[in-house]
């Protein structure tokens, strides 16, 4: 019987046996400044800039319902009269807002599966085609004579567009997180809120220009077609993800793809070898299935990804996207409300551009906590102001929403994308991003549908007091972030893997070092070495062995060892590298000497000296 088959499953799982320890690679570029890193990895940066077309499409679509709902022509074609003014029914406004993120839930899951089978480029092309079809449906939604059919057709168009966005955004985030070096991971993933805001700004500007035109909103819908086409173009221009190619065992293609990403003089083969080792290490603990995202240490990682995906909804992104319509509900005229939206988007864009530099300097955890604390106060102050009402509250609402966009753009918004991208393992990254965007879509659907019932005049009519709702949500997000979101700034994939495998407490991630990993590796391998040695001893009672072990392993396997025909001796070294490692780690480990009874009887004279005397297992209990 093979030696490994003699190891009880319970014991093997306890010790996390490793036949080949994966080295923990540190980031060799950690000393570079942001500008030096951009110059070294300029090709990666350029490809990521090209991929922002998908993010622009997401941002434009996000604002399209919230801002076209403020257009008089759209309100006349899709709304109804209430107290002498045109409004959009809460039900339909909620459904239109719900449709896009709700369908993106399903498409995000499908995209995770599709990426792992057909690659990142094919997934981008698929999303591009679906988006073009969705825009066409929205473009003709005003043609039916029946208002119910118009509303239903527009709802269908928004649903298809949500499906396309789920595919494109999931793929974009997966691709960027896979090709970005650790030092640029934060700045590059800060592109998501930055270009989402830019997309919203373009949409708001287009809507402002078409505000007084008959059927001006139709032109706004048509302006989405260019955004739909660019992801298809990028699918032909970018190299396939080396991580995907390595997972498919297409190493030669992976080398070629990495050479297109690396700067001149960089060792593409070394990079691919690092990716291969990381993936092989991760494959030992999980297969690339959605259920594996919630098993073992991946459960904690997936929950962090899901929470990070909810952060934009919790600080109020859905309400901010409806900013112009919300300001009208509070009491502002339509043209001014769109101008306020544009001003807020410009300020937010500047803040997010600043976050590209800030995220390269400041830990993600600190950015999230500080910005959430400030936003909580801002929303609470708006809720208090809404209790009294009056003309001043209208402008106070506008100022508060602008400040929330700025503070979120400097901190929690870009940091949430970075945390959501770097937390997942390479092996499960496409599936984890699918789970993340599913959670984001669920949150956006829930908030999008519920918000009109909270602030709209025909339902809750909370108006500015809606600030209390988001103050509470931000406070909850602050507490959960403090307790659960670790900091992984500047860490390589293998370092992040090791920290989660070691089950470090949240606040210990920042202090962790490779020296700690080396010490723990020695003790971990001790368990595996001892178990394998004793397993061989069970089938070959003529074994003499010398293995690294720990006292805790001996205690856990005492009964099992006692039943074997062998003597053991545990020796703790007093000097040398192993002794130093034991002091650093605080773990007792040393050499486990094993000798079978048959060998002891056959060579009694040779083993009679004091140094070679072996104690029975029962004597180990004192350790």
| Strand-strand pairing, 566-571 and 80-82 | unpaired
Q: Does the CA dihedral 147-148-149-154 come out positive or negative?
A: positive
Q: What pTM value is reported for the model?
A: 0.64
Of the listed ranges 165-169, 351-355, 540-544, the one predicted with least confidence? 540-544
pLDDT band at 368 (very low <50, low <70, confident <90, very high): very high
Select the more confidently predicted residue: 27 or 530.
27
String of b and e for 206-244 (b: at least 16 CB within 10 Å)?
bbbebbeeeebbbebbebbeebbbbbbebbeebbbbbbb
Two tokens, residue 130? 């679906």
Single out the residue of 288, 275, 287, 240 nearest to residue 118, CA to CA: 240
Of the listed ranges 342-351, 406-415, 605-614, the one predicted with least confidence? 605-614
Task: Look up tokens 């499953």; give the residue.
Answer: 9
pLDDT band at 278 (very low <50, low <70, confident <90, very high): confident
**Residue ranges, CATH 1.20.1250.20, the chain:** 41-506
Q: How many CB atoms lie within 10 A of CB 184?
A: 24
Beta bridge partners of 550: 589
* Contact in structure between 430 and 174 (CB atoms under 8 Å): yes
Helix, strand or coil for residue 566? strand
Of the listed ranges 193-197, 269-273, 302-306, 527-531, the one predicted with least confidence? 527-531
Select the more confidently predicted residue: 570 or 212.
212
Tell me what pLDDT residue 512 has.
80
Q: In this predicted model, what pLDDT tens digit does every residue of 560-582 receive, in sequence order? A: 555 555 665 656 555 555 555 55
CA 345 to chain centre: 24
- The Cα 241–Cα 234 span in angstroms is 13
Average pLDDT of span 506-530: 59
Residues in the chain: 623
Give 399's contacts (C-beta < 8 A, 6+ positions apart): none
Two tokens, residue 87? 């409004």
Q: What is the enclosing helix (H) or strand (E) of 421?
A: helix 412-422
- The Cα 440–Cα 311 span in angstroms is 9
- The Cα 474–Cα 479 span in angstroms is 9
Helical residues (DSSP H) of 69-210, grouped into ranges: 72-78, 90-118, 120-139, 147-179, 182-189, 191-209
Two tokens, residue 263? 């700067």
Beta bridge partners of 259: none
- The Cα 251–Cα 111 span in angstroms is 23
> What percentage of the chain exceeds 90 in pLDDT?
23
Q: In this predicted model, what pLDDT tens digit does every residue of 20-78 receive, in sequence order? A: 444 455 556 666 777 888 888 889 999 998 888 888 888 888 777 667 777 888 888 88
- The Cα 182–Cα 185 span in angstroms is 5
Sheet holding 589-596, edge to edge: 544-550, 589-596, 566-571
* Contact in structure between 59 and 198 (CB atoms under 8 Å): yes
Q: How many CB atoms lie within 10 A of CB 459?
A: 14
φ, ψ at 5 (rounded to 5°): -70, -15
> Rounded to whole angstroms, what are the CA distances from 283 to 278, 298, 503, 528?
9, 12, 18, 18
41-506 has CATH 3.30.465.10 classification: no
Two tokens, residue 352? 């997010």
The conformation of residue 328, written as its DSSP 8-state character, comes to: H
Tell me what pLDDT residue 308 has.
94
Q: How many CB atoms lie within 10 A of CB 621?
A: 10
Single out the residue of 305, 422, 413 nearest to residue 355, CA to CA: 413
pLDDT band at 524 (very low <50, low <70, confident <90, very high): very low
Single out the residue of 201, 128, 115, 185 nearest to residue 161, CA to CA: 128
* Contact in structure between 94 and 448 (CB atoms under 8 Å): yes
Helix, strand or coil for residue 529? helix
Average pLDDT of span 237-243: 92
Tell me what pLDDT residue 565 has.
59
Residue 103 exposure: Cα atoms within 13 Å on the Cβ side:
21
Q: Does the CA dihedral 502-503-505-510 come out positive or negative?
A: positive
């Amino acid at each position: 019987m093979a030696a490994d088959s003699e190891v009880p499953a319970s014991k093997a799982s306890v010790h996390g046996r490793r036949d080949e320890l994966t080295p923990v690679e540190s980031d060799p570029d950690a000393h570079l400044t942001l500008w030096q890193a951009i110059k070294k990895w300029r090709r990666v940066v350029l490809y990521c800039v090209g991929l922002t077309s998908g993010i622009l499409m997401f941002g434009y679509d996000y604002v399209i319902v919230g801002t076209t709902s403020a257009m008089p022509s759209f309100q006349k074609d899709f709304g109804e009269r209430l107290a002498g003014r045109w409004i959009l029914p809460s039900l339909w406004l909620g459904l239109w807002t719900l449709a896009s993120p709700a369908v993106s839930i399903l498409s995000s899951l499908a995209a995770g599966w599709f990426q792992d089978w057909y690659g990142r480029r094919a997934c981008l092309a698929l999303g591009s085609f679906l988006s073009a079809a969705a825009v066409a449906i929205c473009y003709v939604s005003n043609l039916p004579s029946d208002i119910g059919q118009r509303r239903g057709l527009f709802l269908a168009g928004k649903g298809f567009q949500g499906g396309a966005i789920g595919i494109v955004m999931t793929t974009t985030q997966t691709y960027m997180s896979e090709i970005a070096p650790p030092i640029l991971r934060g700045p590059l993933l800060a592109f998501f809120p930055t270009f989402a805001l830019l997309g919203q700004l373009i949409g708001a500007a287009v809507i402002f220009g078409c505000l007084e035109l008959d059927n001006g909103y139709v032109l706004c819908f048509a302006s989405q077609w260019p955004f739909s086409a660019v992801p298809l173009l990028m699918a032909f221009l970018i190299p396939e993800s080396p991580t995907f190619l390595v997972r498919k065992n297409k190493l030669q293609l992976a080398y070629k793809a990495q050479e297109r990403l690396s700067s001149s003089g960089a060792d593409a083969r070394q990079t691919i070898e690092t990716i291969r080792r990381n993936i092989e290490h991760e494959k030992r603990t999980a297969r690339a299935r959605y259920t594996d995202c919630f098993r073992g240490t991946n459960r904690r990682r997936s929950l962090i990804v899901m929470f990070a995906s909810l952060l934009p909804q919790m600080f109020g992104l859905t309400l901010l996207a409806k900013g112009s319509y919300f300001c009208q509900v509070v009491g502002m005229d339509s043209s001014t409300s769109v101008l306020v939206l544009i001003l807020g988007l410009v300020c937010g864009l500047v803040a997010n551009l600043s976050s590209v530099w800030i995220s390269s300097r400041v830990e993600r955890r600190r950015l999230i906590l500080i910005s959430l604390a400030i936003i909580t106060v801002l929303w609470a102050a708006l809720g208090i102001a809404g209790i009294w009402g009056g003309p001043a509250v209208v402008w106070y609402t506008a100022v508060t929403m602008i400040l929330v966009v700025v503070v979120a753009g400097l901190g929690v918004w870009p940091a949430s994308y970075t945390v959501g991208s770097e937390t997942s393992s390479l092996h499960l990254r496409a599936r984890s991003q699918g789970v993340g965007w599913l959670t984001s879509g669920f949150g956006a659907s829930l908030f999008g549908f519920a918000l009109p019932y909270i602030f709209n005049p025909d339902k809750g009519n909370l108006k500015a007091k809606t600030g209390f709702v988001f103050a509470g949500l931000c406070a909850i997000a602050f507490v959960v972030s403090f307790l659960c979101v670790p900091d992984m700034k500047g860490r390589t994939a293998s370092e992040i893997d090791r920290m989660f495998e070691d089950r470090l407490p949240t606040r210990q991630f920042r202090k962790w070092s490779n020296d700690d990993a080396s010490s723990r590796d020695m003790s971990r391998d001790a368990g595996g070495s001892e178990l394998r040695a004793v397993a061989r001893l069970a089938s070959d009672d003529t074994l003499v062995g010398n293995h690294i072990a720990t006292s805790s392993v001996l205690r856990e396997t005492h009964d099992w060892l006692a039943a074997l025909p062998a003597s053991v001796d545990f020796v703790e070294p007093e000097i040398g590298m192993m002794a130093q490692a034991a002091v650093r780690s605080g773990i007792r480990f040393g050499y486990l000497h094993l000798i079978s009874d048959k060998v002891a009887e056959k060579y009694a004279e040779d083993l009679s000296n004091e140094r070679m005397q072996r104690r029975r297992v029962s004597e180990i209990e004192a350790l």
